[in-house]
Amino acid sequence: MIDARIDPLARELFDALRSRRTLAPLTEREPAITIAQAYQISRRLLALREAEGERLIGKKIGVTSKPVQDMLGVHQPDFGFLTDRMQLEDGATVSLAAAGLIQPRAEGEIAFVLKRDLRGPGITKDDVLGATDYVLPCFEIVDSRIRDWQIRIQDTVADNASCGVFVLGRQRTDPRALDLAAVRMDMFRNGEPAGSGLGAAVQGHPAEAVAWLANTLGAFGIPFLKGEVILSGSLAPLVPAAAGDRFHMNIEGMGSASIAFSE
């Protein structure tokens, strides 16, 4: 793919986000697209959102656990950006239309909030734990501007790692007070069990996933900054969400989070 296509593709994704419509896979139309070019598209997409007043507040790692990789057919992690408009209040009932969601899926994970900057490469799990102020339970509602979730790694990377919105729980926990690899997450949809998993599902330990992201971003000259929220990846397979659904999840020793959806 020629670099001249980067800006037009970013604009297509931005327009699809704002109009709540899907696109044919980028990899179908541009078979030669590289992961590096997909990240350039993602950064241009972020710039378009910032131009409309959105503010960068964190980053996310996606496709970290084997169940999610198998579900999506994408077998390596990716990353995306979080803005202030993506964050929703714990316990809220959210309009799918108002949130700009098209084909959402819910995932439960652990969020890290930093007390100091981290700049890769060379970041370790212990560096992450030392730089973390607290961890929180998190619902990330992933979404895709790519038709029917027919994504390859380049598609999801370009589309901001298929990020939609996210909710943080209210309980703040010292990450050194728990074995984050051993904590259990249980998720419920409309009161029925909808998935469970351990912290070890994401690269053996959630902080290992965050370290990977810090080092990957470091290669692009992008640091983690004090106060940012870092989402570490889903602990269980993604669960489709629709109007009328209410999701609740608990993470052992870390509290809970919930979100509901309307039209």
pLDDT at 69: 54
Residue type, 196: S
Residue 67 has pLDDT above 70, yes or no: no
CATH superfamily of domain region 3-262: Fumarylacetoacetase-like, C-terminal domain (3.90.850.10)
**DSSP H or E stretch at residue 128:** helix 125-131
Give residue-wise pLDDT tens across range 6-31.
Answer: 999 999 999 999 999 999 999 999 99
Encode pLDDT of 139-162 as tens digits: 999 999 999 999 988 999 999 999
Residue 1 has pLDDT above 80, yes or no: no
pLDDT in tens, 97-155: 999 999 999 999 999 999 999 999 999 999 999 999 999 999 999 999 999 999 988 99
DSSP string, 44-92: HHHHHHHHTT--EEEEEEES-SHHHHHHHT--S-EEEEEEGGGEE-TT-
Can you give the residue ranges of every domain in the chain?
Answer: 3-262
pLDDT of residue 125: 97
Alpha-carbon torsion 22, 25, 28, 32, what sign? positive
Specify the higher pLDDT residue, 35 or 2. 35
